[in-house]
Structure 1
Amino acid sequence: MKKLLPTSTVGSLPKPVWLAPPEKLWSPWNLESNKLHEGKQDALIVSLQEQQLAGIDIISDGEQTRQHFVTTFIEHLSGVDFENRRTVKIRNRYEASVPVVVDEIARKKSVFVNDAKFLRKQTNKPIKWALPGPMTMVDTLFDKHYKSREKLAWEFAKVLNKEAKELEEAGVDIIQFDEPAFNVFFEEVNDWGMAALERAIEGLKCETAVHICYGYGIKANNDWKKTLGSEWRQYEEIFPKIQKSNIDIVSLECHNSNVPFNLMELVRGKKIMVGAIDVANNTIETPQEVANTLRKALEFVDVENLYPCTNCGMAPLTRNVARGKLSALSAGAEIIRKEYKT
């Protein structure tokens, strides 16, 4: 019998200090060549152990082998120049120095498949692997070649699909596409963004998820949230399109956010990864706080479709805080499981 309320993280977890400097995104590696490869595998094992000790049911790689959830994938593609970077505004929020698309996009070899095979050997639990979504990839670089966000997204969707199929073969149970850009560019999502995502999942037999949040707990994102008012209704713009799609699971931000819970009605029938852990502060939730968030979600989601999760990745947090939050997530889910058994 399948476990009720299976818990998971969105993806990233803090890296050990010997692998990369803590509490920052795009953190540089502390190791090189063979030592780096071995260090990444060691970090994967540590990440797995911490998830299992915290009682997490669906295991992720903690993104231990990548510097960033988008650019690490792009680094492995041809047609992108990482040397001559340009500064762009990401999601209309903050500036970053990004690579430039200078030629046709191609994936010469797999990116994460060997890491997924390694993780698969370490655990019998279901594993989830996150890939960047096509639209968010487009929003994280400068395009000098295609000169069309839609065309570039379509090319990314094709290479993502190849990677996803090989991840499925490697034993990954859920492939998640991270699309925070969906919360910003509504017209494009409805015009071509969702179609590009459908192309990325084409032919997959494993479960698929789309993760749409309000970003990591960095200052630019936290400042943006303060401008959104007392109700965050961005999901309302895109959920109807997602509801009609072939995506199985929708991952969204809930805890400590101003997202009205009733917006989940718009994706009724889909499985919902409900963000019950706030990644934008160092306060460790109590199990009861997690349970309260899940109870509110259960007014709009059938219990068999509810997957307790984090709001976003936890890479910028300390390991102690992340551990505490993971344990709280498991304990909160257990409170609700017991209520459903009695």
Structure 2
Amino acid sequence: MTLAQHLLPTTVVGSYPQPEWLVDRAMLSKSVPRTRMQAMWRVDGEHLEEAQDDATIVAIRDMERAGIDIVTDGEIRRESYSNRFATALGGIDTDNPAIIVARTGQQTSVPRVVGQIRRIRPVELRDMEFLRRNTDRAAKITLPGPFTMSQQAKNEFYEDDEALAMAFAAAVNDEAHDLQRAGADVIQLDEPWVRNNPELARRHAVKAINRALDGITVPTVVHLCFGYAAVVPGSTKPAGYPFLAELADTTAQQISIEAAQPKLDLGALKDLSAKKIMLGVLDLGDPAVESADVIADRIRHGLKYVAADRLVVAPDCGMKYMPRATAFGKLKAMCEAAAKVRGEIS
């Protein structure tokens, strides 16, 4: 499958809303789980896979109907963007998670690393095969990035953070090669935690990302954001990333950024002139569906900093926590806006 040949192709960051009949959305809304949250699923184990398949088809069709050029599987089978992959690896004690306490006092259950991190089996391979069978559009699949996974776990085995991140990177790389062989047109790493701990990220995040992408020949993306709009209020989001220019040294061809809700200063993109930019133009903290005109203005603003042939149009972040009708409306308006601006510059 070839990627969209026209300017300003549209995509999603990854997730799409899971239906209420499949998951307990009230339970889901309370956290972004690091360990497994099996109680979230409303369908029993015997029928869960079939139910997830059906919901995935719904997500794919919504993206297609909205006009998205590069679709995903909506991450429908995941409890969070990272925990399904991270907890499937060898070296993780899934029965006895650790509790870490944030500076705010919030307690979070996280995986405990008690042995060598290794990929025991493919985790998302069936997801990619299912997506490939069910769309004729370009298909993207996402993986949690190695630096982010290393920051979402309690290290009780490796000598330091870098060794842990590099072990996660090797596991991600094994998975990415399987996903490429299964027909992925784009592979994306989600690395939001590089902005949580930029000093540590400067030491080894780029090294870990490049190890995770080693040998991958399809287009690759690194996504970073300030957190889901449903979890992190827009008023607390800064207008700039503390770790962004450093991503110029990654082998990823694209960098995906949240820009609409935090009203990001796009001047920082000058440091990424060799990369394509997946620009967030949907404010997922706004419960209203923005008009195509509003979104078109955001795209035009992006074009002041990024050439049209280097700009990919996307939401700010995953849409997992949104009402489905709102998510669909926003995607449809985004695709209409991209078509409008495309017509102005082609």
User: The TM-score by the shorter chain falls in which range?
Assistant: over 0.9
- Partners of 2:162 and 2:276 lie apart in 1 by 28
> How far 1:111 moved relative to its partner?
0.2
Alignment match, 2:277: 272
- Partners of 2:257 and 2:228 lie apart in 1 by 13
**Aligned with 1:111 (options 114, 118, 123):** 123
Contact 1:13–1:63 under 8 Å retained in 2: yes
**Secondary structure of the residue that 2:93 maps to in structure 1?**
strand
Structure 2 counterpart of 1:3, one-letter code: H
- Partners of 1:202 and 1:93 lie apart in 2 by 38
Tell me the TM-score normalised to structure 1 length.
0.93
- Partners of 1:164 and 1:93 lie apart in 2 by 36
- Partners of 1:129 and 1:93 lie apart in 2 by 34
Alignment match, 1:238: 243
Residues 93/283 of structure 1: CA separation in 2 closer, same or farther (3 Å cut): farther
- The structure 1 segments of at least 4 consecutive aligned residues displaced by more than 6 Å after TM superposition are 90-93
**Aligned with 1:101 (options 106, 113, 116):** 113
> How far 1:18 moved relative to its partner?
1.7
Name structure 1 gaps, 5 residues minimum. Answer: none
In the TM superposition, what are the counterparts of 1:186-335 in structure 2 within 5 Å? 186-219=198-231, 221-222=232-233, 226-227=235-236, 232-234=239-241, 237-335=242-340
In the TM superposition, what are the counterparts of 1:131-146 in structure 2 within 5 Å? 131-146=143-158
Residues 95/3 of structure 1: CA separation in 2 closer, same or farther (3 Å cut): farther
**Secondary structure of the residue that 2:7 maps to in structure 1?**
coil
> How far 1:241 moved relative to its partner?
2.4
Contact 1:128–1:172 under 8 Å retained in 2: yes
> How far 1:256 moved relative to its partner?
2.7
> How far 1:127 moved relative to its partner?
0.6
Cα deviations across residues 120-164 of structure 1 (Å, max 9, x unaligned)? 011121111110011110121211111521111000000000000
Name structure 2 gaps, 5 residues minimum. Answer: none
Alignment match, 1:158: 170
**Secondary structure of the residue that 2:97 maps to in structure 1?**
strand
Q: Which moved more, 1:22-31 or 1:169-178?
A: 22-31
Alignment match, 2:49: 37
- Partners of 1:21 and 1:306 lie apart in 2 by 36
Q: Which moved more, 1:29-38 or 1:160-169?
A: 29-38
Structure 1 counterpart of 2:345, one-letter code: Y
> How far 1:52 moved relative to its partner?
0.5
- Partners of 2:43 and 2:311 lie apart in 1 by 40
- Partners of 1:93 and 1:254 lie apart in 2 by 29
Alignment match, 1:66: 78
Alignment match, 1:17: 20
Alignment match, 1:6: 9
**Secondary structure of the residue that 1:127 maps to in structure 2?**
strand
The percentage of aligned residue pairs carrying the same residue is 33
Alignment match, 1:75: 87
Structure 1 counterpart of 2:239, one-letter code: W
Residues 313/204 of structure 1: CA separation in 2 closer, same or farther (3 Å cut): same
Contact 1:268–1:300 under 8 Å retained in 2: no
Residues 64/149 of structure 1: CA separation in 2 closer, same or farther (3 Å cut): same
Structure 2 counterpart of 1:232, one-letter code: A
Structure 2 counterpart of 1:134, one-letter code: P
Tell me the TM-score normalised to structure 2 length.
0.92
- Partners of 1:312 and 1:156 lie apart in 2 by 23
In the alignment of these two chains, the number of paired residues is: 334
